[in-house]
Homo-oligomer: A and B are copies of this chain.
């Protein structure tokens, strides 16, 4: 017999990993790409029966429309292409700053922002502070330094995480975005730049992986905010 951390639900197409929250601190997330609206609805239904708060990424507007018709309490962020359970009334635990370099990095940054919100963190969004206009970042440093973890989304040469990393005392999760042309190579250049950051506190996630950045930042914030007895 399966223990609680091992429990599963077979939905035919999909096998839900119900022990995920138990093992990993947060429930399984729905990766919407390539799944039909029906398949997503089936998973959400199964989650709701068990009280699991939904997060679904990469959901196109037309699928979202059909899903929200069925679950009007969920929220859809069209820039982030993301559906999630509302979390505004829950107590916040820890804080995350999400920073974007340019307007084109916004969809990725919003995916990180929504995910961090879903993990229960207090979240602040600092936008359009790319390195070519250095004073834009400097004027926002105070806000950024209050966070337990920082997400930085940037495309092109991906220099912003290095610069931010030089100013803060918490982990910086760098997300390369597929913005740019020519040798931007759909985000590879930004990724390589971030992996080679001269700032010691920068780790990296996959190109356009706003979700993963927000998720990890949320985990860090959550742990930073545990009450003393919990430790």
Interface of A toward B, CB cutoff 8 Å = 2, 5-6, 8, 13-15, 17, 19-20, 23-26, 28-29, 33-35, 39, 101-104, 106, 127-136, 139, 148, 156-159, 162-163, 165-171, 173, 176, 178-209, 211-213, 215-216, 219-220, 223-228, 231
For A182, give its contact among B14, B102, B187 (CB under 8 Å). Answer: B187
Instruction: Name the residue of chain B whose CB is nearest to the CB of A104.
Output: B34
Cβ–Cβ < 8 Å partners of A180 in chain B: 196
Q: Are B15's CB and A128's CB within 8 A?
A: yes
Q: Are B196's CB and A216's CB within 8 A?
A: no
For A181, give its contact among B106, B134, B169, B208 (CB under 8 Å). Answer: B208
Assess A192 versus B193: contact at CB under 8 Å? Given A103-B39, A162-B159, A223-B148. yes
A215 to chain B, nearest CB (A): 5
Q: Are A182's CB and B206's CB within 8 A?
A: yes
Cβ–Cβ < 8 Å partners of A135 in chain B: 2, 5-6, 8, 17, 19
